[in-house]
Amino acid sequence: MAAFTSHQTHTHFLSKLPITNKPTRTKPIVTRVRMSYQESGPSLAVVGVTGAVGQEFLSVLSDRDFPYRSIKMLASKRSAGKEFSFQDKTYTIEELTENSFDDVDIALFSAGGSISKKYGPIAVDKGTVVVDNSSAFRMVENVPLVIPEVNPEAMSGIKLGTGKGALIANPNCSTIICLMAATPLHRRAKVTRMVVSTYQAASGAGAAAMEELELQTREVLEGKPPTCNIFNQQYAFNLFSHNAPIVSNGYNEEEMKLVKETRKIWNDKDVRVTATCIRVPVMRAHAESVNLQFENPLDEETAKNILSNAPGVVVIDDRASNHFPTPLEVSNKDDVAVGRIRRDVSQDGNYGLDIFVCGDQIRKGAALNAIQIAEMLL
């Protein structure tokens, strides 16, 4: 079993509740000083810096020693003026405005689709390359939808230093986690059909949902009625169909994201994808059951070897001790974990596999993927 890339848990600086799977003592955002400042590096802006993914952007920038000459911390008017420390320097959060992107080379957006739609094009017009974590531009033609380990060629035409801005979309978290595992197998045997069932953590709905899950857990254990502000039903000790709106075909928007984004990322409009997305009371890592049907045969041992050598993937598949990936094991980790690798007995021969995938929704499912995209621009 390969070793994970591990990271320390950090505390959301505007919250009394830690962003973690269990209570911890309060820590600063970054637990060690990193020297990422480089005069020759790009100028950065983080849009939505106070949110769960915005905070994780900073953590990943620090962990990976991403070089920058300056960084703007941008958020809503409500958060403007607040101060916090990052990499041994004090920053003041600025209100996001149309003038925020003057002389900004790369802007990392995670403030919701409406903010991205309004300010993304403004930033691009000023020559900024925008890496957007929302769904605003994912299915827009000519906007690359990128997982660096899967389709880096999609953004090959975008360069820094040309004065020309661009939009790059970060895929949905469940799509990233799924395709990190499915793509190496797809390259070998060509996936013709994929059936995905997701078990999605609170973090996918933001820091407030994580806090509400923690609050509800305490309330239920104390015999109190749970506070249901983020979701309209009890979340603690429960699970329910993903809270995304239901569309005309009976799927919800989250499920259709998996369908449409897979086709775009794989550049294969014919691949058949279906999904069922469920919200489970887990703090920050998604799990997915994935059934794959192939055009060419692929046995489970070969599949295991392929996945063991895939970048950003770790195999946890110990049948003897019944040890397979769990959300807790991948929380605060960079790698996506894959296990339960077995032949689909409902299909003849080696034309189908079942796998179980877990990945940290805030890291590889959002912030890490975005920073990896930014690294490809350097």
Kindly list the catalytic residues.
173, 286
CA distance to 51, 288, 363, per residue, from 359 (Å): 19, 9, 8
The answer to whether the beta carbons of residues 124 and 165 sit under 8 Å apart is: yes
**DSSP-derived secondary structure for 166-193:** EEEEPPPHHHHHHHHHHHHHHHHH-EEE
Please state, in angstroms and rounded to a whole number, the distance separating the CA atoms of residues 315 and 280: 23
The answer to whether the beta carbons of residues 245 and 253 sit under 8 Å apart is: yes
H or E stretch at 276 = strand 272-279
DSSP-based three-state secondary structure for 110 = coil
Please state, in angstroms and rounded to a whole number, the distance separating the CA atoms of residues 159 and 181: 28
- Name 318's bridge partners: 323
